[in-house]
Amino acid sequence: MIGSPRHHPALPPNADRWDESKLGDTPDVDTVLVARTRAGDVAAFESLVLRHLRPVYQLARRTLPAGTAADEIVVDVFVRAWYNLQPCDRTPAEFRTWITTATVQMCREANTRQPRAHPHR
């Protein structure tokens, strides 16, 4: 499984300054984290990743055929999220809905790229 981005060497030294516990667990947490991410707050994006990592990974595992690396899809989904949340782009209305849709789309793309086994060969 994917390790915690908190310990990733590419993150800046102040990446852990964001304390999500200050927000509580209200429906608006993602909205605040998306806004902070769009403002360039890497730690807010890290919180989004940590909040959604498990459901995205589980969805990828259920959607992909056996033997397909769900980890790679999950990484690609969050990379896509990072670029789609930049200030010049449109903000998804509901991050959870957007990230779920992106996961399903990327799994479908992976399924079409993967060669199918031919039972009669």
Cβ contact 49:55 at 8 Å: no
Domain that holds residue 66: 26-112
Residue 1 inside a domain? The answer is no
Q: Is residue 7 part of a domain?
A: no
The domain tally of the chain equals 1
Average pLDDT over residues 62-81: 89
Across all residues in the chain, what is the average pLDDT? 75
User: Is 71 contained in some domain?
Assistant: yes
Question: Is residue 2 included in any domain, yes or no?
Answer: no
CATH number of the CATH domain containing 65: 1.10.1740.10
Q: Is residue 4 part of a domain?
A: no
pLDDT over 70 (residue 78): yes
Q: Residue 40 above 50 pLDDT?
A: yes
- Band of the pLDDT at 60, cuts 50, 70, 90? very high
Tell me, yes or no, whether 64 lies in a domain. yes
Q: What's the CA gap between 104 and 6, in Å, rounded? A: 26
Full-model pTM: 0.68
Residue 77 lies inside a defined structural domain of this protein: yes
Q: Tell me the mean pLDDT in the region 24-42.
A: 81
Instruction: Tell me the two tokens of residue 107.
Output: 């799994």
Report residue 7's pLDDT band, with 50, 70 and 90 as the boundaries.
very low
Answer yes or no: are the C-beta atoms of 23 and 47 closer than 8 Å: no
Rg of the Cα atoms in the chain = 16
| Distance in angstroms (rounded) separating the CA atoms of residues 51 and 118 | 40
Q: Determine contact, residues 47/2, Cβ cutoff 8 Å.
A: no
Looking at the predicted structure, is the pLDDT value of residue 105 above 50? yes
